[in-house]
């Protein structure tokens, strides 16, 4: 006798489509990326020049592929939740976050210019900060 289709086993309830299977190793790597990015983003809250928003976005993306619990925690977090909501609703970054990012990068740049020897690496860092600022300010503001 042939086995009945899955729909008939569930009674009247619809059967959800199976989630794409990921190997245990890929889930582990995505989780490692998520937690590392979140950690760097948290350090960026207090360390000038280190961005927070970009690392939180990366953490949320990686968490969605590895850890529903972490993804849910980020979505409902008091600080990170609004960042993710703005990003998902129009790729927006709040003006306050843009100003904070620009000010912290400027502060870090001044500290580096005063305290470190100048060289090609410093000019590469300056170019990276400039590109980061241009990208941030090219995003729409939160509506």
pLDDT in tens, 107-139: 889 999 999 899 999 999 999 999 989 998 999
Q: How confident is the model at residue 37 (pLDDT cuts 50, 70, 90)?
A: very high
Which of these, 85, 89, 30, lies nearest to 53 by C-alpha position? 85
Torsions phi, psi of 11, nearest 5? 75, -135
Q: What is d(CA 116, CA 18) in angstroms, rounded to the nearest whole number?
A: 55
- What pLDDT score does 14 carry? 41
Place of tokens 């100003």: 99
pLDDT of 6 > 90? The answer is: no
CA of 58: how far to CAs of 28, 62, 101, in Å? 15, 6, 17
Q: How many CB atoms lie within 10 A of CB 36?
A: 14
Q: What is d(CA 129, CA 138) in angstroms, rounded to the nearest whole number?
A: 14
């Amino acid at each position: 006798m042939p086995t009945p289709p899955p729909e008939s086993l569930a009674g009247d309830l619809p059967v959800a489509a199976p989630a794409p299977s990921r190997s245990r190793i890929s889930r582990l790597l995505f989780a490692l990326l998520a937690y590392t990015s979140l950690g760097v983003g948290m350090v960026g809250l207090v360390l000038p020049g280190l961005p927070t928003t970009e690392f939180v976005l990366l953490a949320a993306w990686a968490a969605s592929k590895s850890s529903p619990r972490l993804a849910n925690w980020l979505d409902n977090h008091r600080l990170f939740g609004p960042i993710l909501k703005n990003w998902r609703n129009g790729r927006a970054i709040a003006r306050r976050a843009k100003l904070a990012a620009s000010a912290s990068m400027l502060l870090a740049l001044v500290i580096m210019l005063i305290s470190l020897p100048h060289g090609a690496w410093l000019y590469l860092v300056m170019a990276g900060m400039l590109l980061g600022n241009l990208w941030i300010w090219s995003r729409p503001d939160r509506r």
